[in-house]
Structure 1
C-alpha cells in the first residue's frame, strides 16, 4: 500500500522565511532584555527585585497581564490587573 507524500514549508527553502525567523528571534531577545525591574519580593527565594513585562491577553475592556521573573532563581508568575 502506498503512503501519501506529505511536504511542509521546510521542504522549500526561502530567503524571506529565513530572514523573518531571524528577525523574530532578534526581536524576542531585545524584548527580554528590555524587561523593567521592580522592587517586588520573589515568591520562591529571598530576592527583592524582579523583572516584569506587560501584555494584553484578554479582551480590550479588561486589564492587562503582568509577567514577573526573578533573575536570581528564574521563578516566573503572572498577575491580571
Structure 2
C-alpha cells in the first residue's frame, strides 16, 4: 500500500511551518531599512566612492520601498 502526501504550491506563504515569520521580520526591519536608505541618499560622492557605490546606484537603492528588503534578510 502506498501513501501519498498532498503537494502545496511553493508560492503559498504558509508552506512548511514558516507561517508569518518572514512577514513579521520584514515589518520589524522596515524602520531600520527606511532609515538606512534615507542616510544613503544623503551621502556625498567621496563617501559613496568609499563604500563602492556610484551616485546612480545609491539613488536607485534609496528610492526602493521599505518593504523591499535585501534577499538575504528573508
Asked if Structure 1 and Structure 2 have the same fold, meaning a TM-score greater than 0.5 normalized by the shorter chain, the answer is no
TM-score by length of 1: 0.36
Structure with the greater relative contact order (CA < 8 A, sep ≥ 6): 1 or 2? 2
Q: TM-score, normalised by structure 2?
A: 0.38
Larger Rg: 1
Greater helix content: 2
